[in-house]
Amino acid sequence: MSIKNKRQKQAKLLRIFRKVHRKTGALLFIFFFLISVTGLLLGWKKHSNGIILSKSYQGTSTDLKNWLPIDRLHKNACKILHDSISPKLSSKIDRIDIRKNKGMVKFIFEDHYWSIQLDGATGQLLHIGQRRSDYIENIHDGSILDKYFETTNGQIKLIYTSVMGLALISFTITGFWLWYGPKRMRKKRTVKSIE
């Protein structure tokens, strides 16, 4: 194959990569923007002074022997949720975060973004917080769409993360080639002119 044909093939490949890079970027711009902004916010959540992630408050005892039973703490959390926020909110628990070293138990609810922190020993309210970090994470990974459309098996999240992951791989490959390809062509041209 002649040098001219090789250069034409390389130039054609560069045009294809540029087209794929440009079209993928245009099609997925809003999603890349959302992922980058939410990723940045998630990276800063522990340094947001309680705006994105609520501070963990200190209870009165770190000795589990002094703590109330989880069932009683759960009932207190549900009562506080309904009395302080809204009686219409679901009290279905997503998870219970036990912080022994803080003497605190955090109840995180499944159907909304509220959390209740209680003193593990007394059951007293330490903090009511909105789980903004969970909301941001749901936007970041696409699971907000599963919640919105009430799907239970996470298919939308799976499709979303697959498309975005493949697009990022495509951007990496095409972007590298768009940077490296012209350098390679110039280098070959320089070598040929020296000969």
Structure confidence by residue, pLDDT tens digits, 93-116: 999 999 999 999 999 999 899 999
Helix (H) or strand (E) holding 93, with range, is: strand 93-99
- Residue 40: helix, strand or coil by DSSP? helix
The confidence score (pLDDT) of residue 191 equals 56
Rounded Cα gap, residues 111 and 34, in angstroms: 23
Q: What is the pTM of this model?
A: 0.77
130 has a pLDDT exceeding 90 = yes
Write the DSSP symbol of residue 154: -
Residue 72: both structure tokens together? 């009683």
Question: Among 109, 110, 102, which Cα is nearest to 126's?
Answer: 102
Identity of the amino acid at 134:
D
End-to-end CA distance of the chain: 18
